[in-house]
Structure formats: structure tokens, C-alpha cells
Amino acid sequence: MSRSVQIREVGPRDGFQNEPERIPTDDKIRLIEALARAGFRRIEVASFVRPDVIPQLSDGVEVLNRIDIPDDVQLMVLIPNSKGLDNALKVRDRFHEAAIFVSASETHNKKNVNRSVAETMADNAVMAKRVRAEGLKCAAVVATSFGCPYEGKVELGRVLDLAERFAEAGATEIGFGDTTGMCNPMYARDFFAAALERLPGVEITAHFHNTRGQGLANAYAALEAGCTSFESSFGELGGCPVPKGSTGNIATEDLVSMFHEMGVETGLDLPAVIDAAREAQRVLGRTLTSHSLVAGPIDWHLQSA
């Protein structure tokens, strides 16, 4: 296994968009800046979707324009379609990476973006070319990579075929999303071993949800297979709006805690990540579900006293 990994924090986009109420813009900015101070070098901060579809992210441009973060922090935005890309490029100088996406299952893709997989991929090919022409990093995401709540099993070959098409279009990073928490550790290990073999030279990213409590085990299995890039959300915020019950992503602080106890470097300040999650909990006015938020980091001196 690798002795170091990188983690992209996706809470400010993937987490905030699933909250029932809009989070005040000032609070969002303060939380993103706290995450940057915790050592993150990659943060997903906005999505250029229609405001009436996801009103929680309607202030994305203001957030991008106002956040004050170190120069070495790479900001990512999620782009749903060419219209969204048009809007994103109006503030092109405020972010560094653009992510395009598709669901591996037809039913989930239709429910999520109201288009077929073929229609989505055709638009993605156009967007990838435009993103690269702007000098931006093009990342791609295959949602429901490990199973679809409507169609059940999603064949590995189908997922990797879509990933290969993204790579051919110019995506230099491909994330595989366990969108509704249907993965298990054995499959995660086999999946990422196959993905790394099929896509040499492409950054492979694991994006697990903790819907059924297997998120950390899946991350460990992906690490065993050779994956060194992960996404997670502080406070275990997030989930999937379709279907109901698809609860949050892996908690960043839990993932960092596990890696650090294993001797795997992340470059992150775990207490600072926990502090950011604690502040998010205060802003949201409800108890969040990450374990490290409750227990804190392990204090070995205290444990041996």
C-alpha cells in the first residue's frame, strides 16, 4: 500500500447541496476557509446547476469570488451541462478544475439530469474539449459505479467503458462514485485493481458514501488495490437526492483518522478538520454523524495513562 494519499474535500458542494435549508453565504465562506487552513490542497466548492434545481448552491459565484484561500489550494466546480459550463467560464479565473459527470445506469442518469447516458456523454465530450481549451484540469465522475438503486448491479465493464471514453475526451482524473452506498470492501478492491490496470496514466479517485456503514472499509480496500486519491466530506455531510435514504459521504475526519493511525500521510491537520466539522455542526444546528467529531483524535498519551 502507498504510504501517502491525497484527499479532496467535497463537503462545500456535495455536502451543502443536500441540506434542506440554504446555508448563509458568509457561513459557507468561513467554513471553506477553515478547511483550507486545515491543509486541504483540493476542495470542491460549487456546482453550476440551475438555481431552481439546487437552490442551496445558487450562491456559487459569490462564494468563488469572496473566498480567501492560499494560492496552492486547487478549487473544483461541478459542471452538469454545456449551459452550466457557459456560466462557469464567466468566473474562469476563480477555479482550477472542472468536473463533468454521468451515471453508469440509465435510470439514475435520467432521474438525476433528465437525459440518457448517450445524450450526457455526447455533451461531456464537447465540454471536455472546451475545459481543456481554457487551460483548466478536466476531471470526470462516473456515478452509481458500484450499483444502482433502480437497476441493481452495474457491470464493471460498462463503468470502465464510460471511464475510458472520458479519458479519450481528455479527462486526466476519473472519480468513481458509490452514489447510494452499495459497494462492499471485496468488490472495492477488485474494482480499483481493474480500473488502475485499464486506465494507466489517469488519476483514479475513490468516492465512497457511508450509507450502510461500509465507507471506511471500502476506502481501505481501494487503498490496498493501489488507489491513492480519495474524496470525502467533513461531518459526513452529503448523500444523493435520488433516491431517499441515500445518506452522507465518508466523513473526512474519520478517513483522515484511519489513514493516520495506519501510518498513511494525508498532509492534513486532523484536529483542524474536526474543528471545521464542529463549526459546520453549529451552523447547521444539528448533530452530525462522524465518529471523530464525537470522540476526537486518538490521544495515545491519555490512553496509556
User: CA-based angle 205:207:209, to the nearest 5?
Assistant: 165
Q: Which residue has the cell 467529531?
A: 293
**Which residues, in sequence order, are CB contacts of 126 under 8 Å at separation 6+?**
82
| C-alpha torsion angle, residues 242, 245, 249, 254 (rounded to 10) | 180
Which of the following is catalytic: 138, 183, 227, 240? 240
Q: Establish whether 148 is a catalytic residue.
A: no
Cα-Cα-Cα-Cα torsion 250, 207, 32, 90, nearest 10 degrees, comes to -160
Strand partners, 9: 43, 232
DSSP 8-state secondary structure symbol assigned to residue 285: T
Assign 229 to helix, strand or coil: strand
> Cα dihedral sign for 284, 276, 177, 74?
positive
Distances (CA, A) of 139 to 132, 134, 169: 10, 14, 10
Rounded Cα distance between 192 and 302, Å, is: 38
Grid cell 467535497 — which residue? 10
If you write DSSP's letter for every residue of 73-128 in order, what string do you get?
PEEEEE--SHHHHHHHGGGGGG-SEEEEEEESSHHHHHHHHSS-HHHHHHHHHHHH
User: In what helix (H) or strand (E) does residue 231 lie, and over which residues does it extend?
Assistant: strand 229-232
Give the residue numbers annotated as catalytic, written as ranges: 240
